[in-house]
Structure 1
Amino acid sequence: MTISPSSMINQYKFEDEPELRDLFITVDDPESHITAIETFITYRVITKTSRGEFDSCEYEVRRRYQDFLWLKSKLEEAHPTLIIPPLPEKFIMKGMVERFSDEFIETRRKALHKFLNRIADHPTLTFNEDFKIFLTAQAWELSSHKKQGPGLLSRMGQTVRAVASSVRGGVKNRPEMFTEMNDYMETFSQKINVLDKIAHRIYKEEREYFNEMKEYGPIHTLWSASEEDIADSLKGIASCIDKCCKATEKRMAGLSENLLPILHEYVLYSEILMGVLKRRDHIQSELDSKMDALANKKADKDLCSEEIGKLEDKVECANNALKADWDRWKQNMQCDMRSAFGNMADNNLHYYEEV
């Protein structure tokens, strides 16, 4: 078989891997749209590629949040036992930030940018046809393509059946590896949720402290005007408080940019992985029920044997896909956590040096 250079590249891993990438995506330029029915934000998605399956080397399209949701659902539908990167939630907690504030829009833009680049870096998802359409089709073409897929109710029905099936009595013949994965994810989910809550609480307390500091410093400057004997000392204190205030602002920025997004992304990942494991169990339970029916002679032997063969292949494919993705995800997670905690440590060191 003739192997194209781009496919050969994807078979090997080199140390200087970024130079071998052939798909670069940027999400930027958020824009508000107000209609009689709704208000929404669109983001510009710029794609640059050297892949032969693309008709051009550069594309520019605009996408709204619901388009990203459509892409995620299509990827889950096509690859039920692969780990699809998480999207930021559609709704935000009341009282945190306004939905259309600059802060919220920028936070969402960064998350959407990361979502697409996680897919682009994935060895399988990056070649998904719906992903290519998402990156290249104009708005009217994407709308036309979206109408061809299964409806929302159909997808919800499949998900509900899969979850219900996996919950009923568990899976009899689940390989030990996937039981260990399940146990790991239950612990991971618990720990990452606690870390996420504490980190947000620390950030909130830091912001309150910062706001108090902004009022605290100027009072000493004002006081120095009426206290000649200690004016220099009061001004000195005001100067120190100002430096501490600026250092605190930097530390807050470090928390909000380097730690909070990573922790919350993996809170969402934990939910996704539990769903992937349930879908794998659902495929396994289908095979188990067919084998039980054959053993109890409650089904046509020839027909049942054929169905069992197909289900065995399906289970093997699902298992292999999840095994490969699990190792990849775990490696990425450990790298992300190491980087986030390392950045937090550096951030704290700089803070204490400055104050």
Structure 2
Amino acid sequence: MATLTITTSFNGSELYLWGGSETSFKCLVYSQDASLLEVNSFSPLMPTSPSSMINQYKFEDEPELKDLFVTVDDPESHNAAIETFTTYRVVTKTTRGEFDSSEYEVRRRYQDFLWLKGKLEEAHPTLIIPPLPEKFIMKGVMERFNDDFIETRRKALHKFLNRVADHPTLTFNEDLKIFLTAQAWELSSHKKQGPGLLSRMGQTVKAVASSMRGGGLKNRPDAFTEMNDYVDVFNQKISLLDKISHRVYKEEKDYYYEMKEFGPIHTLWSASEENLGDTLKGVASCTDQCCKAMEKRMVALSETLFPTLHEYTLYSEILMGVLKRRDLIQAELDSKVEALYNKNAETDLLSEEIGKLEDKVECANNALQADWDRWKESMRLDVKMAFSEVAENNIQYYEQCLATWESFLTSQTTDIYLEGNPEDRP
């Protein structure tokens, strides 16, 4: 198997790409060496801040490494007799040999994305599958078919598909290929097929998990106990940040609307004050300019910080599910080992089953550990980038407002000197 090594300045580390078949590529995900994985695979396809060094790295290096590009755009509403729904255009461009064409264009609705996510979870129960946006927006923030809601969902669906396409294992999933290339009737046929691996696995270990309830896992590795503890704390912190950011946004929005009324009041006042007319108009103009700057700041906040915090809030639930599925696999192994110890079944048959389960647990552990390392690195980069952009926008906002008011004060000082005694000038 050939190895291509690319040295970058990113954290002073090396990234490795491995050739070979789909199967051999997948095995790398189960390797304990997390350095074999791209640390940026969870990141969105299109960077949000070209000025960032991290995003420059993506812009410059990713096009040479990627061979699958996916875009979700052009939402279209459909009013059927039974229901009303929205479809999105999914455009795929690829150079992979397993695809019959280099470009595909299909239309998919939200339910189709749900189907794909379910199939990915069935095929890869211990990999971290990226989250989808919720079916409905909670608390009545947006109407289901509101333009803002549709655009927010489109962006989230675009990010979901690109995270999947960038994943070293999920990108080769057969159901993903079907989703990207199949016509509507072909996709419907695939969706009617029976339950997959995840459903069968759930049925197999359900009794095992129930029998061990209350006692917990006896042989869970410390690394996965630490993961459980980390996810609990992470869920609390990221949810709190999400709530606080929305509360701050609401306060900023209230201030913005009040400030918008401030300018017109000064303009009206200037009409009745002959000596203060220009000054009052200047205050009104400065207020209007600050309002426009604040509007840009609020848009940046809602389009940068909110999606990042909300996405990782959804990741918390996904991580809990992945850890639970790993525990279920180990629970089945532990029950077989206990049965062998108590000689409750045929020894040879149990020994064979235990051997297979031991391999399955090791594979699941390695897969989750590698994906966990990738996810943590990506999360830290995404959250750092989001807060950095918020900080940059805040600085730009305050600098613009400061320059506006300083210019106004300078003009007022000059007018005072011109009207007063020249000897009083500094």
Q: Is the 8 A contact 1:162 1:278 kept in 2?
A: no
1:68 aligns with 2:113: yes
Match of 1:226 in 2: 272
Match of 1:236 in 2: 282
Q: 1:135-154, CA deviations, whole angstroms, 9 ceiling, x for partnerless residues? A: 00011110011111328x95
Distance in 2 separating the partners of 1:276 and 1:337: 22
Q: 1:285-304, CA deviations, whole angstroms, 9 ceiling, x for partnerless residues? A: 11111111111111111111
Match of 2:19 in 1: 8
Q: 1:38-77, CA deviations, whole angstroms, 9 ceiling, x for partnerless residues? A: 1100000000000000000000000000000000000000
The one-letter amino acid paired with 2:364 is A
The one-letter amino acid paired with 1:275 is G
Deviation at 1:217, TM superposition (A): 1.2
Deviation at 1:19, TM superposition (A): 1.9
Match of 1:290 in 2: 336
1:247 to 281, 290, 293: 293
- State the structure with bigger RCO (CA 8 A, min sep 6), 1 or 2: 2
Match of 1:190 in 2: 236
1:114 aligns with 2:165: no
2:138 to 93, 99, 106: 93
Q: Is the 8 A contact 1:162 1:282 kept in 2?
A: no
Q: Is the 8 A contact 2:120 2:129 kept in 1?
A: yes
Distance in 2 separating the partners of 1:121 and 1:350: 33
Q: 1:199-214, aligned counterparts within 5 Å?
A: 199-214=245-260
Distance in 2 separating the partners of 1:159 and 1:226: 83
Match of 2:87 in 1: 42
1:21 to 66, 74, 89: 66
Q: Is the 8 A contact 2:209 2:331 kept in 1?
A: no
The one-letter amino acid paired with 1:83 is I
Change (3 A) 1:100 1:162: farther
The one-letter amino acid paired with 2:305 is L
1:146 to 180, 188, 191: 191
1:340 aligns with 2:376: no
Q: How does the TM-score come out when normalised to structure 2?
A: 0.78
Deviation at 1:270, TM superposition (A): 1.0
Change (3 A) 1:234 1:349: same
Q: Is the 8 A contact 2:205 2:328 kept in 1?
A: no
Distance in 2 separating the partners of 1:141 and 1:125: 21
Match of 1:307 in 2: 353
Identity %: 76
1:174 to 209, 220, 224: 220
Q: How does the TM-score come out when normalised to structure 1?
A: 0.93
Deviation at 1:18, TM superposition (A): 3.2
Deviation at 1:93, TM superposition (A): 1.3
Q: Is the 8 A contact 1:258 1:340 kept in 2?
A: yes
Distance in 1 separating the partners of 2:369 and 2:349: 30
Distance in 1 separating the partners of 2:200 and 2:137: 24
Unpaired segments ≥5 residues, structure 2? 4-16, 29-35, 39-56, 402-426
Size of the aligned set, in residue pairs, is 353
Distance in 2 separating the partners of 1:13 and 1:74: 23
Say which SS state the counterpart of residue 377 (structure 2) adopts. helix
Runs of 4+ in 1 over 3 A off after TM superposition: 9-15, 153-168
Change (3 A) 1:160 1:50: same
Say which SS state the counterpart of residue 94 (structure 1) adopts. helix
The one-letter amino acid paired with 1:65 is Y
Distance in 2 separating the partners of 1:163 and 1:223: 78
The one-letter amino acid paired with 2:127 is L
The one-letter amino acid paired with 1:114 is K
1:275 aligns with 2:286: no
Change (3 A) 1:337 1:167: farther
Change (3 A) 1:160 1:348: farther
1:259 to 285, 291, 305: 305
Say which SS state the counterpart of residue 19 (structure 2) adopts. helix
Deviation at 1:17, TM superposition (A): 3.4
Change (3 A) 1:159 1:113: farther
Q: Is the 8 A contact 2:92 2:104 kept in 1?
A: yes
Distance in 2 separating the partners of 1:168 and 1:56: 53
Q: Is the 8 A contact 2:122 2:199 kept in 1?
A: no
Deviation at 1:206, TM superposition (A): 1.5
Say which SS state the counterpart of residue 123 (structure 1) adopts. coil
Match of 2:424 in 1: none
Distance in 1 separating the partners of 2:79 and 2:208: 38
Deviation at 1:130, TM superposition (A): 0.1
Deviation at 1:201, TM superposition (A): 1.1
Deviation at 1:231, TM superposition (A): 1.2
Identify the range of structure 1 (230-239 vs 113-122) with the bigger mean alpha-carbon deviation. 230-239
The one-letter amino acid paired with 2:376 is K
Say which SS state the counterpart of residue 63 (structure 1) adopts. strand
Deviation at 1:159, TM superposition (A): 11
The one-letter amino acid paired with 1:353 is E
Alpha carbon RMSD of aligned pairs, Å? 2.5
Deviation at 1:94, TM superposition (A): 3.0
Change (3 A) 1:193 1:118: same
Change (3 A) 1:239 1:191: same
Distance in 2 separating the partners of 1:189 and 1:140: 40
Change (3 A) 1:195 1:207: same
Deviation at 1:21, TM superposition (A): 0.6
